[in-house]
Chains A and B, each alone.
Chain A
Amino acid sequence: MNILIKNGQIINPEENQKKYSDIFIRNGIIEKIGINLVCNKNTKIINAKGLTITPGFIDLHSHLRQPGFEYKETVASGTLAAAKGGFTTICAMPNTNPTIDNKNSLEKLKDIILSSAKVNVLPIGAITVSRQGKKLAPISTLSNNGVVAISDDGDDLSDVKLLKSAMNIAKKSKLPISQHCEDPILIKDGHMHEGWVSNRLGLQGRPREAEINMIERDIAIAKELGAHLHIAHISTKEGVMLIKKAKKDNIKITAEVTPHHLTLTHEAVSKPADFQNRKSINYNTNAKVNPPLREDDDVLACIKGINDNTIDAIATDHAPHAKREKEIEFPKAAPGISGLESAFAVGMTLVKSHSITFEKLISKMTIDPVNAWNLNKIHGLEGIGTIIEGNKADLAIIDENKKWVFKKDQILSKGKNNPFIQSEFTGKVVITIHNGNIVYSEINN
């Protein structure tokens, strides 16, 4: 099917331009961008007057859980959630069962993606076998078979010697190494940020030093070896400063931050619930996440990092869990937020509060993550993150002014664990187009 999108405002972050134009899509490709385009009767026309068209979003960090944890999420359900959130390309973390740590499991995952994914899914390989931090996975082989990065995410790779070897191989394979920076000894038995809230709730803390120490160490090694270090889900102001300095020193380093670390603090864990006769501090497991939500200064530093480009990408760290893993005693609850469907709207709260511009938000969800990992150098992904003629048609169509409430029963992901449930948002993705197909739409015209 061919599609003609009429009268939308196109934002192409790479060129930093805004223009009103029509877009004609034929056979999945953007054939023409221009004014007053006409079409034949076999074309679906989308009236985008008053709407904004951006490149489809790109997520460097999501957990799709398949294979092994299909009760939490599948490639099918996760990519449906992605499409609803405006994402057309998402990178999948390898902490599945089996782990994506060898050619065989990678090929099986690719088969699942081929048969069930609604949007692009780019696999990330594990750094070590079974993510145990003991023995290196065959990184070159994984690279030759299509992983876009390597990571033991969920855990820090604390063995320095292994990390060095991994970085040497990753450098040769031109792969970024995405590190979850939290010192395992310092965070042992910790369930949230160490601060006044953890103290009040009697919960063991995960101190900020756990992140700072590991970022510092990893930067030192990356500097020595010249490998591409990617800091996943940065959460501390000190961490942002370290990355800023490393970039200044021309170390090959990139970084991402999540929507929740840009907007929430540890106080979200104690958000009062509205059930009868309860004034005591609540234990909100939907705000339990690793690294933990921190303090106001940290949130401000992360926003500043977005604005001065210390931080390259906004990434969701989409981490769906089943009800029984979240609606239990706080210390037993699994960490993580199911974030693909709220990411853009949460980002819009920063636009509305004038913390970042709309264009900055779009850049950090499209072209900047592409450039961070050189995704447009991958065969088949040329032009990704931009809107130009000849590109595959991956687009998000946005109603910037739409007011809506994020409701639990409307979440498409199997994971309903999200601290923004019942939040009122302004701005919503209303249509997502991937390879010229409408993969999500909530308008009829």
Chain B
Amino acid sequence: MQAKHNKTWKHKHLIDVDDLSIQDCSLVFQLANKYEKALKNKKSISPILKNSNIFNLFFEPSTRTRASFELAGKLLGANVINITSEISSVQKGESLEDTIKTVSAMHSDIIILRHQDSGAATFASMNTNTSIINAGDGSHAHPTQALTDAYTIRKRFKSLKNINVTMVGDIEHSRVARSDIWMLTKLGANLTICGPASLIPKSFHKAQNSKLPHVQVQTNLKKALTDADVIIALRMQTERQKKKSIPSLSEYAKRYQITKTNLQVAKKNCLLMHPGPKNEGVEISREVANSSLSKIEEQVANGVAIRMSLLQLIYTNSGK
């Protein structure tokens, strides 16, 4: 695999998917496809990021995103440094601005940032010359997950045009939902969002609101799943709901859990996805989660290829 300086990629940072054009997305997918095959066939991968310094700066707990970025960086030959809030000077009261500046000063090429505040990645990008990749900021955005989800769907259906995607769960608090909604509609999917009314932002209901992507809002699960090609179940974010949105997880599961029974109205062989981590036996029944419909593990594998692709595109275009 060759290191190519790609002139069509112009993004220093990746804050959210709405920065990306359809062509940008294709570029990410193409490169991810190469890496996915190389990984599967255990082919050697050229160390395009050799001698680069990537900082994983995580202010919130994470398993898959952090490991995925770390692995992606290492596979491309980068030095990957992990900093989590528990072991950093954040514990001593250091501000995000100072932390970003400190890390930038250590010859960093890319900072991968996960933070609990919406807008943290935007803020970070305004305070450093280092490239920022948003690995999740508050309830705002999770662009690498959205690209992974789009990639996973695309692999099955070739294109997202007119694919019926139904997203179920806590839309209100989910950064994955927001990035997915923008990503999948941009690529042409028909999107339905479903969940308890208290977990769907009111502004999605208002059809006249042209500044948001067009989505169908549905509070009835069966109707939402009818003819779905793809179902994305979202984690119930109990830590962000502060006990005011739903009576309990079991009440939620009774009405919104994806089960074998209610999958009968969806298209046969539909894809079932979940960005993780799952609340075991809440969003998806165990039986279905372990069935052949589930692409949950494939999402994780694809996530590594997508992140390799992004690291390369951003690194080779950051003037280094």
Stretch at the interface among A43-51, A252-260, A269-277: A269-277
The minimal Cβ–Cβ distance linking A370 to chain B, given in whole angstroms, is 41
Contact of B118 with A201 in the complex, beta carbons under 8 Å: yes
Give the segment of B33-41, B152-160, B196-204, B302-310 that binds chain A: B196-204
Q: Enumerate the 4 nearest inter-chain pairs by beta-carbon distance, A residue then B residue, closest first.
A: A202-B140, A202-B139, A283-B119, A202-B118
From A267, which residue of chain B is reached at the shortest CB distance?
A: B211
Q: Which residues of A contact B141 (CB under 8 A)?
A: 202
Is residue B16 contacting chain A, with contact meaning CB distance below 8 A?
yes
Nearest CB in chain B: distance from A427 CB, A: 32
Which B residues are CB-close (under 8 A) to A200?
178, 211-212
Known: A273-B126, A276-B12, A331-B117. A202 touches B18 (CB 8 A): no
Q: Does A190 contact B (CB under 8 A)?
A: no
Bits for B134-152, please: 1 = Cβ < 8 Å to A, else 0. 0001111100000000000
A394 to B122, CA, bound (A): 46
Extra pairs beyond A203-B118, A332-B117 (4, CB < 8 Å): A202-B175, A282-B122, A283-B118, A331-B118
Q: State which of B19, B206, B211, B212 has its C-beta within 8 Å of the C-beta of A279.
A: B19
Q: Which residues of A contact B (CB under 8 A)?
A: 189, 194-196, 198-204, 273, 275-283, 324, 327-332
Q: Does B97 contact A (CB under 8 A)?
A: yes
Are A330 and B18 interface neighbours, CB within 8 A?
no
CB proximity of B301 to chain A, nearest CB, Å: 27
- Which residues of chain A have C-beta atoms less than 8 A from B137's C-beta? 202
Shortest CB-to-CB span from A220 to chain B, Å, is 26
| Bound complex: CA A332 to CA B96 (Å) | 11
Residues of B within 8 A of A (CB): 10-13, 15-16, 18-19, 95-97, 115, 117-120, 122-123, 125-126, 137-141, 175, 178, 201-204, 206, 209, 211-212, 242
Contact call B119/A203, Cβ cutoff below 8 A = yes
Q: Tell me which residues across on chain A come within 8 A of B201, comparing CB atoms.
A: 198-199
Provide 11 A-B residue pairs closer than 8 Å at the C-beta atoms, listed in order of the A residue: A199-B178, A199-B203, A203-B118, A203-B119, A203-B139, A203-B140, A278-B19, A278-B126, A282-B122, A283-B119, A329-B115
Contact of A277 among B11, B175, B209 (CB under 8 A): B11
C-alpha spacing A278/B20, complex, angstroms: 11
Q: Say which residue of A189, A194, A330, A331 sits within 8 Å of B202 (CB atoms).
A: A194
- Measured in the bound complex, the distance between the Cα atoms of B126 and A32 in whole Å is 57
SS class, residues of chain B in contact with chain A:
loop
Quote the shortest CB–CB distance from B206 to chain A (angstroms). Answer: 8
Q: Is there an interface contact between B123 and A283, defined as CB atoms closer than 8 Å?
A: yes
Contact partners of B19 in chain A: CB under 8 A: 278-280
Establish whether residues A330 and B118, one from each chain, have CB atoms under 8 Å apart when the complex forms: yes
Q: Give the docked Cα–Cα distance between A273 and B127 (Å).
A: 13
Bound Cα distance from A330 to B126, whole angstroms: 13
- Complex: how many Å from CA A244 to CA B151? 55
Query: By the criterion CB–CB under 8 Å, are B125 and A202 in contact?
Result: no
Query: Cα distance A195–B14 when bound, in Å?
Result: 25
- When the two chains form their complex, are residues A196 and B10 in contact, meaning their CB atoms are under 8 A apart? no
Residues of B within 8 A of A277 (CB): 10-13
Q: Which residues of B contact A199 (CB under 8 A)?
A: 178, 201, 203-204, 212
Contact (Cβ within 8 A) A278 B123: no
How distant is the Cα of A282 from the Cα of B118 in the complex, in angstroms?
11
Q: Return the chain A residue nearest B177 by Cβ.
A: A202
Asked whether B209 lies within 8 Å of A283 as measured between CB atoms, the reply is: no
Shortest Cβ gap from A261 to chain B (Å): 20
Of B15, B119, B209, most buried by chain A (CB within 10 Å of CB) is B119
Contacts known (A273-B126, A330-B119, A331-B119); A202 close to B13, Cβ less than 8 A: no
Q: Which residues from A are CB-within-8-Å of B95?
A: 324, 328
Chain B residue numbers with a CB within 8 Å of A331 are 117-119, 138
Closest CB of chain A to B76's CB: distance in Å? 22
Which among B120, B138, B212 is the interface contact of A196 at CB below 8 angstroms? B212
Contact of A329 among B13, B119, B178 (CB under 8 A): B119
Nearest A residue to B124 via CB reads: A329
User: Which chain A residue has the least Cβ–Cβ distance from B212?
Assistant: A196
B212 CB contacts on chain A under 8 angstroms: 196, 199-200
Provide the bound-state CA to CA distance between A332 and B201, in Å. 22
Is A280 a contact of B16 with CB atoms below 8 Å? yes
Q: Say yes or no: A329 contacts B117, CB within 8 Å.
A: yes
Alpha-carbon gap, A277 to B129, bound state (A): 11
B117 to A, closest residue via Cβ: A329
Q: Name the distance in Å between A271's Cβ and chain B's nearest Cβ.
A: 12
Q: How far is the CB of B35 from chain A (nearest CB, A)?
A: 24
The reply to whether B18 and A283 form a contact with Cβ atoms under 8 Å apart is no
A330 to chain B: which residues have CB within 8 Å? 117-119, 123
Tell me the minimal C-beta distance from A18 to chain B in angstroms.
Answer: 43
- When the two chains form their complex, are residues B125 and A278 in contact, meaning their CB atoms are under 8 A apart? yes
| A329: min CB distance to chain B, Å | 4
B118:A278 contact, CB within 8 angstroms: no
User: From residue B318, how far is it (CB to closest CB) to chain A in Å?
Assistant: 10
A325 to chain B, nearest CB (A): 11
Nearest opposing residue in chain B for A204, CB measure: B139
Nearest CB of B to A286, in Å: 13
In whole Å, how far is B54's beta carbon from the nearest beta carbon of chain A? 19
Q: How far is the CA of A201 from the CA of B209 in the complex (A)?
A: 15
Q: CB-nearest residue of chain A relative to B122?
A: A283
Task: For A282, give the chain B residue with the smallest CB separation.
Answer: B122
Chain B residues lying within 8 Å of A198, measured Cβ to Cβ, are 201, 203
Q: How far is the CB of A402 from chain B (nearest CB, A)?
A: 33
**What A residues does B16 contact at CB under 8 A?**
280-281
Which residues of the partner chain B approach A324 to less than 8 Å between Cβ atoms? Answer: 95
Output the least CB separation between B255 and chain A (Å). 23
The CA of A231 and the CA of B120, in the complex, are separated in Å by 35
Once bound together, how far apart are the Cα atoms of A196 and B204, in whole Å? Answer: 8
Q: Which residue of A lies closest to B182 (CB)?
A: A200
- B96 pairs with A329, CB closer than 8 A: yes
**B18, A281: Cβ atoms closer than 8 Å:** yes
Closest to A276 in B: B12
Is B11 within 8 A of A196, CB to CB? no
A201-B119 in contact given A278-B15, A280-B16 (Cβ < 8 Å) = yes
CA of A204 to CA of B12, assembled, Å: 29
Cβ-defined contact, A280 with B96, below 8 A: no
**Given the complex of chains A and B, what is the CA–CA distance between A327 and B124 in angstroms?**
11
CA gap between A199 and B25 in the complex, in Å = 23
With a cutoff of 8 Å between Cβ atoms, the chain B residues found around residue A327 in the complex are 97
Q: Are B203 and A278 in contact (CB under 8 A)?
A: no
